[in-house]
Amino acid sequence: MQTTQIGIIGLAVMGRSLALNMADHGFIVGGYNRSREVTGTLIKEHPHKNFIPFYDLKELVESQERPRKFLIMVKAGKPVDMVIDQLIPLLDEGDMILDGGNSFFEDTRRREKNLKEKGIYYFGTGVSGGEMGARFGPSIMPGGEKEAYEHIAPILEAISAKAQGEPCCAYMGPDGAGHYVKMVHNGIEYADMQLIAEAYLLLKYAGGFTNQELADIFTEWNEGELKSYLIGITAGIFREKDDFADGELVDYILDSAGQKGTGRWTSLESLKQGVNVSMITAACNARIMSNRVEGRKEAKELIESPKQRLVSDKAKFQEKVRKGLYTAKIAAYAQGFDLLLHASSEYGWNLDYGKIASIFRAGCIIQAEFLDDITRAFEKNRDLKNLMMDSFFREKINMGQESLRDILGPGIQNGIPVPAMSQAVAYIDAFRGTPVGANLIQAQRDCFGAHTYERTDREGIFHHDWRFEHE
């Protein structure tokens, strides 16, 4: 039996792509799937001298060099636990299990603790980049025991995307750190996509731009400070012709988008941590509303819509949308990294925010030129409390916030939902702002519940005997 260097368990799209990526880089990869048909199809369609199929899990385990290394690529949740339960009796102390799916970080922490008691290393390994990224170079976020990382680093760093010659893979921290970073990455991705969708709506329904004009605009934007994977593919999408009718495909796609849950996890975790990620939450809510297709159709017939008022100067509006989008993007990333900062303190992970930004520069969905600036910001000041306080981004916020405010007006007047951009403005205003109205809220709480209040002119906790009549 030929010795393998790593085993992939789960050979669907992502598992297959990662297995072939590893094989391309000279690693001897063993592959196993509970369905023999899936394994057989992979061998038939993608034969590779460095990929060895296995139809029995025990034989895959016995083929491994020590310490054994297995990458699980199955659906998050119970299927991961089922695979782990099958592996445990076959493994020895010092062997390693990597979970490359979108597992919830608390599940990863639980599994890592349980396996550590058995002498088995467990790495929650975030992988971003979709099928193409997995096949030719993803961004990889492993978290687990640092002392064991050296055994898997050569493989993971070799297959990862490269940015300026550096691998887009780095050790994140202990237990659930890797999957937490991946969760926040996905939350930022939700916000980024929603902001782009809102820019599209503003340009099309307030600016009156055609799909061809939108394609040209996004192509131009992709050559400047907004350059990113998402802006680039958006330009291409607007040009894509439909297969069944005249015109562009985008106009025939149902106005409803799904989600797999990682954005919601980010939003829920932010409430737990007491961190404002309102833009990510707005993006999740926008997808929820998009799913109510029939209800929206009914409401459209019953609730009056504003009369469309196209802007008078298209070129000027286009530039304002560009500046507004960039400004809102800064706010979205500031929220995501703020959540990482609080989680790092809460869970004792000591996250390296500059390194996190650097591994997002290629391979993943949110890859962008913008991330070079984030990397530099945290390299310059590791203790940076919020991205908007960095001098570079502070200047960009100051230069762009007027445009962001200006484009919200035509959006609201035309009945265009712009929840993420609206939350960007609210976040900036609340972040820099006084007043925020909390003095009145303190008074209300003390009035109806004797919850006390604090004062501006002296130290201490106070309660007022509210003298007006109230029930």
Is the pLDDT at 471 greater than 70? The verdict is no
28 and 107 in a single domain? The answer is yes
Residue 467: what pLDDT? 87
Q: List the domain range (segments joined by +) for residue 351.
A: 182-432
Query: What span, in angstroms and rounded, lies between the C-alpha atoms of 319 and 250?
Result: 23
Which amino acid does the sequence have at 46? H
Residue 81 CB burial class (10 angstroms; 0-12, 13-18, ≥19) = middle
The residues facing 52 across adjacent strands are 30
User: For the whole model, what pTM was predicted?
Assistant: 0.94
Is the pLDDT at 262 greater than 90? The verdict is no
108 and 225 in a single domain? The answer is no
402 is a domain residue: yes
**Domains held by the chain: number:** 3
> Sorting pLDDT into bands at 50, 70 and 90, what band is 108?
very high
For range 212-216, the mean pLDDT: 98
Cα 348 to Cα 25, 56, 140, 174, distances in angstroms:
35, 39, 21, 8
155 and 221 in a single domain? The answer is no
Q: Which of 184, 208, 453 has its CA nearest to residue 315?
A: 208
For range 15-35, the mean pLDDT: 97
426 is a domain residue: yes
26 vs 1, more confident: 26
For range 159-183, the mean pLDDT: 96
Query: What span, in angstroms and rounded, lies between the C-alpha atoms of 315 and 294?
Result: 36
370 and 387 in a single domain? The answer is yes
Active-site residues, by number, are 182, 189
379 and 300 in a single domain? The answer is yes
Cα 12 to Cα 39, 126, 156, distances in angstroms:
9, 17, 19
Residue 258: what pLDDT? 85
350 and 385 in a single domain? The answer is yes
Residue 32: what pLDDT? 97
Residue 58: what pLDDT? 96
Phi/psi of residue 429, nearest 5 degrees: -65, -40
Domain boundary among 143, 175, 207: 175
262 is a domain residue: yes
Is the pLDDT at 259 greater than 90? The verdict is no
Query: What span, in angstroms and rounded, lies between the C-alpha atoms of 48 and 44?
Result: 10
For range 12-36, the mean pLDDT: 97
Is the pLDDT at 204 greater than 80? The verdict is yes
36 and 158 in a single domain? The answer is yes
Decide if 140 contacts 126 (C-beta within 8 A). Answer: yes
The residues facing 149 across adjacent strands are none
Q: Which of 241, 410, 429, 177 has its CA nearest to residue 314?
A: 410
**Percent of the chain at pLDDT exceeding 90:** 96
DSSP 205: I
Two tokens at 361? 């520069």
